[in-house]
Amino acid sequence: MSKIGVFVGTAGGTSMKVANALIEAFEIEEEDVINMEEDFDDVEDQLLEYDVLFLGSSTWGQGDLHFSWVDPVLEIEDETIDFSGKTIAVFGAGDCKKHGEHFCSALGKLHKTFTSAGAKSVGFVPKDDYSYEFSLAEIDDKLCGLAIDEHNESDKTQERIERWVDILKSELGD
pLDDT in tens, 20-72: 999 999 999 999 999 999 999 999 999 999 999 999 999 998 899 999 999 99
Contact predicate 104/127, CB 8 Å: no
Number of domains making up the chain: 1
Contact predicate 76/117, CB 8 Å: yes
pLDDT of residue 103: 96
More confident residue, 50 or 13: 50
pLDDT of residue 38: 94
**DSSP-assigned beta bridge partners for residue 91:** 56, 146
pLDDT of residue 1: 63
Q: What is the DSSP string of 52-119?
A: EEEEEEEEETTTEEPHHHHHHHHHHHHTT---TT-EEEEEEE--TTTTGGGTTHHHHHHHHHHHHTT-
Q: Which domain holds residue 144?
A: 4-172
% of the chain surpassing 90 pLDDT: 91
CATH classification of the domain holding 52: 3.40.50.360
pLDDT of residue 174: 60
The tens digit of pLDDT for each residue in 99-145 reads: 989 999 999 999 999 999 999 999 999 999 999 999 999 999 999 99
**The overall pTM is greater than 0.85:** yes
